[in-house]
């Protein structure tokens, strides 16, 4: 996954949003033994193919790109200020006293440290925001995979697209990737923007029951 921050400001950039494994909650499952495999139905998916076609991913990327513009602008401004300070020092250095040099060098070091710290903070914020945008999409993928697993009676579903996976070869008839993608597309994109709770009566008692938004 690409870094959101280029060293010394090449720029904050959007990640591919395609590096997270689909089976995030279960992790990478261990293949069943020969004896158990004979009585268990198994299937597999390619998470990279699913993420490439899942509705909503391109919208999440576009939203991330838009929000990154503010990060890039802030880093650019700080970088320009720091570069101007260094340039001014280099020009004036031959005429400065030892004390003046030490003072200005310390000022540059302080500003450089603040710049690096802020870049790191922005990188962390970008990563957190990326996770927020992708979370509902990943949850929906996991939900669909679980639905198909339950409906078709699969004991487990492997992720053949996860680089950390253990599947090196498999019967293509066990691949349910296309079925997962078809169902996701049929359902359409889901919103990656947190929804505000509906306005209710001012005197609504605390703890009143609300519909469970996680249920289909």
Instruction: Please state, as a whole number, how many other Cβ atoms lie within 10 Å of the Cβ of residue 100.
Output: 13
Arithmetic mean of pLDDT over the chain: 76
Please give the model's pTM, rounded to 2 decimal places.
0.62
Residue 154 lies in a domain: yes
Q: How many domains does the chain contain in total?
A: 1
DSSP string, 46-105: -HHHHHHH-TTHHHHHHHHHHHHHHHHHHHHHHHHHHHHHHHHHHHHGGG--HHHHHHHH
Find the domain containing 102 and state its range: 34-187
The answer, yes or no, to whether residue 18 has pLDDT greater than 70, is no
**With bands split at pLDDT 50, 70 and 90, how would you rate the model's confidence at 165?**
low
Tokens encoding 166: 């253990």
d(CA 207, CA 193): 25
- Look at residue 171 in the predicted model and tell me its pLDDT: 83
**With bands split at pLDDT 50, 70 and 90, how would you rate the model's confidence at 204?**
very low
Residue 139 lies in a domain: yes
> What average pLDDT score do residues 154-165 get?
83
Residue 85 lies in a domain: yes
Residue 216 lies in a domain: no
Reported as a single tens digit per residue, the pLDDT across 19-45 is 444 443 444 444 555 555 457 899 999
Residues present in the chain in total: 216
Cα–Cα distances in angstroms (integers) from residue 160 to residues 1, 54, 133, 180, 197, in the given order: 18, 17, 24, 14, 39
More confident residue, 88 or 213: 88
More confident residue, 127 or 189: 127
Reported as a single tens digit per residue, the pLDDT across 79-122 is 999 999 999 999 999 999 999 999 999 999 999 999 999 999 99
Phi, psi of 157 (to 5 degrees): -125, 125
Q: What CATH number should be reported for the domain holding residue 182?
A: 3.30.910.20
């Amino acid at each position: 996954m690409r870094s959101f921050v280029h060293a010394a400001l090449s720029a904050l950039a959007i990640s591919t949003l395609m590096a997270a494994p689909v089976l995030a909650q279960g992790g990478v499952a261990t293949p069943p033994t020969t004896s158990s495999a004979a009585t268990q139905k198994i299937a597999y998916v390619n998470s990279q193919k699913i993420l490439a076609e899942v509705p909503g991913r391109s919208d999440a990327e576009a939203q991330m790109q838009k929000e990154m513009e503010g990060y890039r602008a802030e880093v650019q401004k700080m970088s320009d200020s720091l570069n101007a300070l260094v340039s001014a020092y280099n020009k004036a250095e031959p005429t400065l006293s030892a004390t003046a040099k030490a003072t200005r060098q310390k000022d540059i070091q302080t500003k450089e440290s603040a710049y690096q710290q802020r870049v790191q903070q922005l990188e962390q914020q970008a990563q957190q925001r990326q996770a927020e945008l992708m979370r509902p999409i990943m949850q929906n993928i996991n939900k669909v995979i679980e639905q198909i697993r339950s409906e078709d009676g699969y004991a487990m579903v492997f992720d053949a697209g996860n680089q950390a996976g253990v599947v090196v070869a498999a019967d293509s008839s066990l691949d349910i990737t296309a079925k997962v993608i078809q169902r996701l597309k049929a359902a359409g994109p889901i919103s990656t923007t947190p929804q505000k709770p509906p306005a209710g009566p001012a005197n609504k008692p605390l703890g009143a029951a609300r519909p469970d938004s996680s249920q289909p």
